[in-house]
Structure 1
Amino acid sequence: MEWSAYVSFLLIAALVIITPGSDTAVVLKNALMSGRRGGVATALGVTTAVAIQGVLTAAGLGVLISQSQPVLQTVRWIGVAYLAWLALQALRSAWQGQYTATLAESGVSARGYRQGFLTNITNPAVLMFYLALFPQFMTPEMPLWALGLMAGTMPVLGLIQLVVLTLLIDSASRWLQRRRVRRVLDSVTGLALGGLSLRVALQ
């Protein structure tokens, strides 16, 4: 693989990564609820799911999955339901306005990781992006390390972006933890997740 081609791939991947989506919304929600620990755990869950989809695509399995409509539709509707459930949780939290410190709560990391992983692994748009982008840069003689490099680029960039987001939220935690601010952010997050759920349902 020519390095100029990889730079092009890297720039496209970076543009996609910085575009807010369901992953960003879930990391934002958990960083607000559980601080740095919850946000980083969610980011790691997202990264794991992205890496799995990248490896599947590079190995050719992504094409088989995308061509199996029952499988793809099942995954899509699971994602729709999960995003809708997260949206309802955020909106309910905004409505009730009852917030307690959760930084020391047991299970924060496991719950955050699980939510990040499920939000991404049930999003067929990620797999479709890989399937649309990879063939533009893949060649029959491409070595295995080059395929691995391409498959690993999106997870690494995504993890960096989400961890930076978490640290920014954590640095402003005192202001963000105000009840009025939390209610506004929960409302925005809930509406964003609900909109994303609707968008996936209509795709």
Structure 2
Amino acid sequence: MTPASFLAFVGVAALVICTPGPDTALTIRNTLFGGRAGGMLTALGVATGLSIWALATSLGLVALLVASEPIFRAIQYAGAAYLIYLGIMALRDAFRRQGPASPATAAISPRGLSPAIAYRQGLISNLGNPKIAVFFASLLPQFAAGGSSFTTLFLLGLVFAAMTLLWLSAYALVVAKVGDVLRRSQVRRVIEALTGGLLLALGLRIAAEQR
């Protein structure tokens, strides 16, 4: 891989990473309710998921996944269902005036977000989106030497994961800076409703997408 092709890869990756999606929405929401640590652990979970997809792509496992319609659809619908579930629970908590938070969002409150839950949500959100596998399978070989070098494919995938981690961490830092304002009761409800609606919409879109 030449320096020019690597720079081209970085440019394409940056455009994709900067486009908001479920990982971005989840990072912002978890930063709001878990502080900077919650957001950054969510970002780390997302980056871990991307690293796993990169390894699977390098090993040729993603090609098998893409070729298997039942497995692909199972992952797609499971990931979509998870986002829809988080979105519905967030909307319910946003519009409920009294009572405890739902089990799915009990740890997402002004008291803080469990680090384990933040990381897990980021990981599941990413691994539950098989479109990333399709994207990696189509993008990475274009920049790898001969299109089949394990080392080059994996390293490119890790670069993509690292760039994503930096970008989402930046989101977390910005949201954390204004967290005190955003966590005010009325503002928090509005943000919860907006992010819940976005997660729900993204889950429905993933479920309806065709390859």
TM class, shorter-length: over 0.9
Q: Residues 172 and 62 (structure 1 numbering): CA distance in 2 closer, same or farther, change over 3 Å?
A: same
CA contact (8 A) 1:97 1:183 kept: no
In the TM superposition, what whole-angstrom CA distance separates every residue of 1:109-163 from its partner, at most 9, and x where no partner exists?
1001111100110101111111121222233387554333212111101000111
User: 2:35 and 2:94 mapped to 1: Cα distance?
Assistant: 18
SS of alignment partner, residue 25 of structure 1: helix
Residue aligned with 1:140, SS: helix
Q: TM-score, normalised by structure 1?
A: 0.92
Q: Can you list the C-alpha shifts for 1:85-128, whole angstroms capped at 9, x where unaligned?
A: 1101210121025685323x6xx110011111001101011111
**Unaligned 5+ runs, structure 2:** 102-108
Distance 1:135 1:144, change over 3 A: closer
2:164 is aligned with what amino acid?
Answer: G
Are positions 1:186 and 2:192 aligned together?
A: yes
Written as runs of structure 1 = structure 2, the 5 A alignment for 1:3-42 is 3-42=3-42
Contact 1:43 1:163 in 2 (8 A): yes
Residues 1:111 and 2:120 are matched in the alignment: no
C-alpha RMSD of the superposition: 1.7
- Take 1:186 and 1:64, find their aligned partners in 2: how far apart are those partners? 38
Match of 2:110 in 1: 101
Between 1:148-157 and 1:163-172, the stretch displaced more is 148-157
**How many residues matched?**
200
Classify 1:7/1:36 alpha carbon distance in 2 versus 1 (closer, same or farther; 3 Å).
Answer: same
3-state DSSP class of the match of 2:146? coil
- How far apart are the structure 2 equivalents of 1:4 and 1:191? 41
Displacement of 1:201:
1.1
1:1-203 equivalences in 2 (<5 Å): 1-97=1-97, 101-103=110-112, 108-140=114-146, 144-203=150-209
TM-score normalised by L of structure 2: 0.89
Counterpart of 2:29, as a letter, is K
Shift of 1:27: 0.9
